[in-house]
């Protein structure tokens, strides 16, 4: 039986790249697909409705069911319109994947607040608005929904992409929060941290071994009933490799018998970075 047979899913940013691959794979697996894409250029300008329409036509030509929505995820009204399209067209909602994203590269010292905020709004706020609208629907309709966040396989800092890195790190924290809010309830939330060739990686002069089509099956799996036990997890998908994440944990620790002094810190902080078997010390 197809993994998403009879289910309805919403994919944001589905006009290209990873979002498009997920939308097509979801349709192949039997889902009714809401293809949501504002149709903007990589920097978030020049919205075009035909971007989503093209993917819908592709799905329908292959015998699948899909409808297009040309709304921005950065506003609650846009997110509500996207989720409402699933209900009005197919009668409900079972899964959501948030792939919408933009890039505005700038050196840190030259990055404007506008460029920082615009990228964060699309990636991070866009997850919040869509997830909240979907979760509200799940509670109101008493119909469970699986929410899938798209973070990044690279959360290390970047001197020219501080906005993007900050947004993607925030997506993981948001996902964890949503997962906790819906624990045991009508919505659950997990994340994929993809490493794949897309227009974003091309713009960053990065070459990956995998493509969007390698990410799509995991997204479909996380929206299917087969994964209903998963909540609050992050999965790296890198070509043929899948890995789970471990939450950030403390590495080494040191204690003071009294309040810390500058002299004591100067002695003990370097120890925290030493590679020794003893991972705990008490300074007397």
Bridge partners, residue 148, by sequence? 97, 190
- Interatomic CA distance for residues 161 and 236, integer angstroms: 20
Helix or strand run (H / E) with residue 27: helix 17-28
Give the pairing type, strands 95-98 and 280-283. unpaired
Q: Give yes or no: residues 275 and 165 share one domain.
A: no
- Interatomic CA distance for residues 72 and 58, integer angstroms: 22
Question: Is residue 202 predicted with pLDDT exceeding 60?
Answer: no
Sheet containing strand 145-150, edge to edge, reads 65-69, 32-36, 8-12, 95-98, 145-150, 187-194, 234-238, 241-244
Q: Give yes or no: residues 151 and 18 share one domain.
A: yes
Is 233 part of any domain? yes
- How far is CA 242 from its chain centroid? 16
Is 139 part of any domain? yes
Contact between 65 and 71 (Cβ < 8 Å): no
Token code pair at residue 216: 């799509």
Cα-Cα-Cα-Cα dihedral of 215, 220, 223, 228, to 10°? Answer: -90
3-state DSSP call for residue 20? helix
Token code pair at residue 186: 């009508």
Mean pLDDT, residues 46-52 taken together? 79
Is 3 part of any domain? no
How much is the CA Rg of the chain, to the nearest whole Å? Answer: 21
Provide the pLDDT confidence category of residue 208 given band limits of 50, 70 and 90.
Answer: low
Q: Pick from 86, 190, 80, 185: which is nearest to 129 by CA?
A: 80
**CATH code at position 225:** 3.40.50.720
DSSP state, residue 153: S
- Interatomic CA distance for residues 119 and 98, integer angstroms: 14
Provide the pLDDT confidence category of residue 242 given band limits of 50, 70 and 90.
Answer: very high
Is 2 part of any domain? no
* Positions marked catalytic: 164
Question: Is residue 205 predicted with pLDDT exceeding 80?
Answer: no
Cα-Cα-Cα-Cα dihedral of 239, 241, 244, 249, to 10°? Answer: -90
Is 272 part of any domain? yes
Residue 182 sits in which domain range?
A: 8-244
The whole-chain average pLDDT of the chain stands at 91
Token code pair at residue 54: 């093209």
Bridge partners, residue 191, by sequence? 149, 234
DSSP state, residue 109: G
Is 47 part of any domain? yes
Question: Is residue 209 predicted with pLDDT exceeding 90?
Answer: no
pLDDT tens-place string over residues 261-274:
999 999 999 989 88
Is 168 part of any domain? yes
C-beta neighbour count of 258 within 10 angstroms? 8
Mean pLDDT, residues 156-184 taken together? 92
E strand segments, the chain: 8-12, 32-36, 65-69, 95-98, 145-150, 187-194, 234-238, 241-244, 253-256, 280-283
């Amino acid at each position: 039986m197809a993994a998403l047979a009879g289910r309805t899913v919403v994919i944001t940013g589905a006009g290209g790249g990873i979002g498009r691959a997920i939308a097509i794979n979801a349709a192949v697996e039997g889902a009714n697909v809401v293809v949501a894409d504002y149709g903007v250029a990589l920097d978030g300008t020049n919205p075009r409705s035909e971007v989503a329409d093209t993917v819908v036509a592709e799905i329908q030509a292959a015998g699948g069911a899909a409808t297009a929505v040309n709304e921005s995820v950065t506003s609650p009204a846009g997110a509500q319109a996207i989720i409402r399209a699933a209900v009005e067209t197919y009668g409900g909602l079972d899964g959501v994947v948030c792939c919408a994203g933009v890039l505005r590269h700038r050196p840190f010292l030259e990055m404007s607040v506008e460029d920082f905020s615009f990228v964060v709004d699309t990636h991070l706020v866009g997850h919040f608005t869509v997830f909240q609208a979907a979760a509200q629907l799940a509670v109101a309709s008493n119909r469970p929904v699986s929410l899938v966040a798209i973070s990044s396989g690279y959360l290390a800092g970047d001197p020219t992409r501080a906005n993007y890195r900050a947004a993607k790190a925030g997506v993981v924290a948001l996902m964890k929060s949503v997962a906790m809010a819906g624990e045991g309830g009508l919505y659950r939330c997990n994340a994929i941290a993809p490493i794949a060739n897309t227009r974003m990686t091309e713009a960053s002069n990065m070459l990956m071994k995998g493509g969007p089509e390698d990410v799509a099956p995991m997204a479909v799996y996380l929206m299917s009933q087969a994964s209903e036990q998963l909540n609050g997890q992050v999965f790296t998908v890198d070509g043929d490799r899948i890995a789970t994440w471990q939450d950030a944990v403390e590495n080494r620790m040191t204690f003071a018998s009294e309040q810390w002094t500058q002299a004591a810190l100067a002695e003990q902080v370097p120890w925290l970075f030493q590679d020794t078997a003893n991972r705990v010390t008490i300074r007397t």
